Amino acid sequence: MKLKQLALAACTALVAAGAQAEGLKVGMITTLSGGGAGLGIDVRDGFMLAIAQSGRTDIEVVIEDDQQKPDIAVQLADRMIQSEKVDVLTGIIWSNLAMAVVPSAVAQGKFYLSPNAGPSALAGERCHPLYFNVAWQNDTLHEAAGAYAASAGYKNAFILAPNYPAGTDALTGFKRLFTGNLAGEIYTKLGQTDYAGEIAQIRASGADSVYFFLPGGMGISFLKQYADSGVNLPVVGPAFSFDQGILQAVGDAALGVRNTAQWSKDLDNPVNAAFVESFQAQYGRLPSLYASQGFDTALLLISALESADVGDQDAFRKALEAADFASTRGDFAFGANHHPIQDIYVREVIKEGDIYTNKIVSLGLEDHGDVYAQNCKM
């Protein structure tokens, strides 16, 4: 558990003696083992790449593995705050771990920058001045999918997600902006791997499209089985089932699927182009959206450091809120509840040579905030 990696090691050994302003200590708690490790590894790699590229020598990053277990995440957070005395926490991938860690971390006066999990509670009633979400609020990608499905002319959608809070939130988000009927709404078992039953129901329902949220291995199984079933309805989903790390395992079954995300590797701006190229050069693989989120989180942090000192919480918070940096998504801005207001794109899964990846086909939602901002009394 004590995997202490100094960011300095990524830079050269030529360190300018004597840092001018005080630096920053970051505690990164993310999933580095088990089935969900791919996401944590991507976030970590994106984050550390930005730190290395900044050339700054005054940012120290402590990285620990939460093993996707909430109680371990809570203890790691306690240790980072009490023992390591970090200034900023980041890294958590899963909403349930975030809900366990974030409220008490910000209550203890530490900044938290989320590079992934965006539970609705933390965007609404439980928002906090020290909590920032650099990725998205969970619902927004699903809302974009719903809006896209409506605009694509689908009138009778069949939707499914696992029976747990992120799953119910996903379908709620989809239904918010989808204007058609629902041919069916199913909550599957968390961790379920066999979807023959659900696919049979889709076939019998008379639907004209399918929307699903099944992160990780669940999505891989569903897509493979769906592609083989003879049910040829168009499929829409959020990017979580179609990110770079998963696509290679799904293969042809995912081709042509439209998915929504705030980032794609072909987003046309200089920061993103440089990011994709340097990520591939450094790590030998294409970045996923998780990697871009990690990268942007580090960029945000660095930009705040340029103008304020973390010791002055008010000033640092304002610097974070200003978000004065060029992100891989282009311009970046926070809403009042510290969640991004951003464009969400519709991407399509394509094959480039031997690699499966995504390409943007249209703009889904422009300058979209989240609906929970109105509940945030910050």
Partner 1 sequence: MSLILLAEQTLNGLQFGVMLFLMAAGLTLIFGVMGLINLAHGSLYMVGAFAAAGMAAATGSFMLALIASLVAAAIAGVLIEMTVIRRLYDRDHLDQVLATFALILIFSEGTRWVFGSFPLFLDKPSFLSGTVTLPFNVEYSVYRLSLIVVGILVAIGLFWMIAKTRIGIRIRAGENDREMIGALGVDISRLYTMVFALGAALAGLAGALIGAIQSVQVGMGEPVLILAFVVIVIGGIGSIKGALIGAILVGLTDTLGRFLLPQAFALILEPSQATSVGSSLASMSIYILMAGILLFRPKGLLGGA
Partner 2 sequence: MKKETLLNAVLIALFVGVALAAWIMDEPYLITLATKAAIFAIAGVGLNFALGFGGLVSFGHAVFFGLGGYAMGILAFHAQTYTPILEWPFAINGTRSMPVIWCVAIVVSAVVAVGIGALSLRTNGVYFIMITLAFAQMFYYFAISWPTYGGEDGLSIYVRNEFPGLNTMDPIQYFAICFTLLLLVLFFVHRAAHSSFGLMLRAARQNEERVQAVGHTPFRLYLTAFVISGAITGLAGALFADLNRFVSPTLLSWHTSGEIMIFVILGGVGRVFGPVAGAALFILLEYVLGGLSEFWQIYLGAILLGVVLFARGGLYGLIAGREVAHD
Residues within the interface to partner 2 (CB under 8 A): 1-3, 32-33, 65, 69-71, 74-75, 78-79, 82-83, 95-96, 99-100, 103-104, 107, 119, 163-166, 168, 187, 189-190
Binding mask 195-224 for partner 1 (x = CB under 8 A): -xxx-xx-xx-----------xxx-xx--x
In the complex, the smallest distance separating the C-beta of residue 200 from partner 1, rounded to whole angstroms, is 4
Task: Spell out the SS3 assignment of 80-101.
Answer: HHHCCCCCEEECCCCHHHHHHH
The residues facing 160 across adjacent strands are 186, 212
Q: Is residue 230 near partner 1 by the rule CB under 8 A? A: yes
Binding range to partner 1, per CB under 8 A, among 53-61, 112-120, 148-156, 248-256: 248-256
Task: Say how far apart CA 116 and CA 293 lie, in whole Å.
Answer: 7
Instruction: Map tokens 């590797």 to a residue.
Output: 265
Q: Which residues contact 92 (CB under 8 A, 6 or more apart)?
A: 29, 30, 66, 73, 98, 101, 102, 114, 116, 117
Written as six digits, the tokens of 44 are 């970590």
Angle value at C-alpha 100, between 5 and 336, nearest 5 degrees: 90
Question: How far apart are the C-alpha atoms of 293 and 151, rounded to whole Å?
Answer: 28
Say which entry of partner 1, partner 2, none residue 201 contacts (CB below 5 to 8 A, set by partner kind).
partner 1
> Least distance (Å) from partner 1 to the CB of residue 184?
10
Judged by beta carbon distances under 5 to 8 A according to partner kind, the member of partner 1, partner 2, none in contact with residue 378 is none
Whether 98 contacts 133, CB under 8 Å: no
Q: Does 35 bind partner 1 (CB under 8 A)?
A: yes
CB of 33 to partner 2, least distance (A): 7
Interaction between residue 155 and partner 1 (CB under 8 A):
no
Q: How far is the CB of 12 from partner 1 (least distance, A)?
A: 28
Of 163 and 181, nearer to partner 2 (C-beta) is 163
Query: Quick one: three-class SS letters along 136-168?
Result: CCHHHHHHHHHHHHHHCCCCEEEEEEECCHHHH
Residue 103 binding result from partner 2, partner 1, none, given CB thresholds of 5 to 8 Å by partner type: partner 2
Partner touching 262 among partner 1, partner 2, none, CB below 5 to 8 Å by kind:
none
CB of 128 to partner 2, least distance (A): 12
CA distance 3 to 83: 14
At 191, the amino acid letter reads G
Which residue is it, tokens 């899964």? Answer: 349
Cα distance between residue 111 and residue 26, in whole Å: 10
- Closest approach, Cβ 154 to partner 2, in A, equals 28
- Binders of partner 1 among residues 167 to 196 (CB under 8 A) are 185-191, 193-194, 196
Distance in Å, CB of 271 to partner 2, minimum: 30
Binding-site ranges for partner 1 (CB under 8 A): 32-35, 37-38, 41, 163, 185-191, 193-194, 196-198, 200-201, 203-204, 216-218, 220-221, 224-225, 228-230, 245-246, 248-253
